[in-house]
Structure 1
């Protein structure tokens, strides 16, 4: 992979390479967001843009009833720089999260709910924050898997936020707390950063697959 990386680097400006490295050095894996069967692809696209801008590495999308279509005018191509995990049902999504060690925090107004600001954010834990459908809220299936239910504190007559606004509040607050507790900008290992760097280089170079294939042929002949 090292030779391929050097080859792709030669096709990009130093300014572009530095920007890619800067973004990767601020990536966060241990906080993620789960979109529970959202109706409006515009909202999902807006959340992706926000999550990428805040440094998230992964986003989980459940499309049980509503298929998500990327709105590039809304994402501004931010979807290229995050890993989208897409599922047709709740069970495989939750299974993947649990296997990766995430605790599931569900945004829901109920008797069991705590305030977002009362959730302890520590570097030792992994947090998956779930937001629900714009009309129906969190699904019953997802509630069954919740380790914690929470609400965003509100102080006006308005009873709820738009789902994309809610995600922005949740992620900006928790990522700020997490980075402070972590005392560094990223929780990725150097090996993970290298893998993402190679992936981002391929995305940054036009027709990279074709160019890499040609490069490998030349290398094999030499």
Structure 2
């Protein structure tokens, strides 16, 4: 058996114009105090691939347009709905008022495996934090839930963009299984 890569046309890709009105999964991704613009761009690309509702960028995280973001986003920054809010707690308050559950992605007390999400958790906002410090305690205190990716190595650390991708696609799997 042999395999052949599909062409762009065969993948049925949406144009950026059509993606504006396409259905999204009930998942928001909040980036708080992300230092690396390459990580930001990577998370734009992953958010597009996962079909998230919106990205919320907070704190000192850089926003488009920036060459470093565009280098890894490969145009996804034009397709993913996003907003900037300097204060993450204020953004969390708005989301909670809309009925969105706030879930940190962090190794924390009483966290549960990221694979334990159920349809009852949606809509939800997944918060990822600083590459070194993670989600600060003040923001973590506003979370309804904390998900954790099990770590089996010595560092107990994943790149923030990699961790976001792992968790986002698990959340999408849960949503799509419940559709």
**Any idea what the Cα deviations from partners look like across 1:70-97, whole Å, max 9, x if unmatched?**
3212111111111111011123211221
| SS of residue in 2 equivalent to 1:58 | strand
State how far apart, in whole Å, the 1-side matches of 2:138 and 2:63 are.
20
Counterpart check, 1:88 vs 2:95: no
Q: Judging changes above 3 Å, is the alpha-carbon distance between structure 1 residues 98 and 73 closer, same or farther for their aligned structure 2 residues?
A: same
**Any idea what the Cα deviations from partners look like across 1:106-145, whole Å, max 9, x if unmatched?**
11212211111122234x8311111110111101221121
Say whether the 8 Å CA contact 1:106–1:129 is kept in structure 2. yes
Counterpart check, 1:68 vs 2:52: no
Say whether the 8 Å CA contact 1:36–1:139 is kept in structure 2. no
Per the alignment, residue 161 of structure 2 pairs with 164
**Any idea what the Cα deviations from partners look like across 1:47-81, whole Å, max 9, x if unmatched?**
0111011111310110x234435321211111111
Q: What is the aligned counterpart of 2:116 among 115, 118, 121? A: 118
1:156 Cα deviation from its structure 2 partner: 3.5
Q: Judging changes above 3 Å, is the alpha-carbon distance between structure 1 residues 18 and 94 closer, same or farther for their aligned structure 2 residues?
A: closer
1:28 Cα deviation from its structure 2 partner: 1.8
State how far apart, in whole Å, the 1-side matches of 2:147 and 2:13 are.
39
Q: Judging changes above 3 Å, is the alpha-carbon distance between structure 1 residues 29 and 85 closer, same or farther for their aligned structure 2 residues?
A: farther
Aligned residues: 165
Per the alignment, residue 52 of structure 2 pairs with 56
Q: Structure 2: any 5+ residue segments left out of the alignment?
A: 1-9
State how far apart, in whole Å, the 2-side matches of 1:165 and 1:158 are.
15
Query: Rg: which structure is higher?
Result: 1
Matches within 5 A, 1:189-208: none
| SS of residue in 1 equivalent to 2:52 | coil
1:177 Cα deviation from its structure 2 partner: 1.3
**Any idea what the Cα deviations from partners look like across 1:120-173, whole Å, max 9, x if unmatched?**
234x83111111101111012211211011211233444111000001001111
| SS of residue in 2 equivalent to 1:30 | strand
Q: Judging changes above 3 Å, is the alpha-carbon distance between structure 1 residues 83 and 22 closer, same or farther for their aligned structure 2 residues?
A: closer
Q: Judging changes above 3 Å, is the alpha-carbon distance between structure 1 residues 173 and 26 closer, same or farther for their aligned structure 2 residues?
A: farther
Say whether the 8 Å CA contact 1:27–1:56 is kept in structure 2. no
State how far apart, in whole Å, the 2-side matches of 1:66 and 1:50 are.
17
Q: Cα RMSD over matched residues?
A: 2.5
Structure in which a larger fraction of residues adopt helix = 1
